[in-house]
Structure 1
Amino acid sequence: MVGSMTPLPLLQKLRVSVSHKNLRIRAKAAVSLYKCVSKMVNEEMEEFGMEKLIEVATDLVNDRLPEARDAARSIATSVYEAIIKDVEVEEKMEVWQSFCHSKLTPINAISILKIVKA
């Protein structure tokens, strides 16, 4: 890995923990996952899987704890920035919408699109 040296197995464990039935564990895992994602370069995010990250954000965006919801919004924003990094300004929203609609159910895509507006 180039940037943060975050091991992918740790990210996989955190990804599993964001689905935990205990909301405190879920929120702590979400915050930890976001901290890892925020230090990743685009290649690392792609290696882990942009679709996995956006799915995690979707799962947490309506969580009962505000920490988990904030982490979800931050993860979604990080994925957005990575997706549109080399895209022309006028095409950013189209590329982002296309990504969300191809990776998520229609209702989940709408909830993520509301978070990140270009």
Structure 2
Amino acid sequence: SSLTPRPTGGISPIALPVLESLFTGNLQEARKLVFSQMLVSGQAAENGGSNNFIIGKRNQRALQVLSKSVDQDNCKTNALLYGGMHCKDLHRRLESMGYVAKKTEWRTAWSVD
């Protein structure tokens, strides 16, 4: 890379790929990188405050529907799809209901190539 962060400061490692894309004229790549940083920054900002309340309520409702499906509809196989910000709370709630994780699988929803 022609741009390297200095150990004592300088260019941010996060900004570095964006700057390289701009300097090489690859505006599409720069847009992708900026968009991905906006998403990550937004998720980091949402990790506290009232958004945790909203996530908790959504998780609570999802688990109510899951429980109904298991108990009343006698479903043996269920899928619970959720985003990354829901993981910690859902994991805690599922464990408190007696569920045990057997397998963890990461599926990439989108990537910046």
User: Higher helix fraction: Structure 1 or Structure 2?
Assistant: 1
Q: TM-score, normalised by structure 2?
A: 0.32
Larger Rg: 2
TM-score normalised per structure 1: 0.31
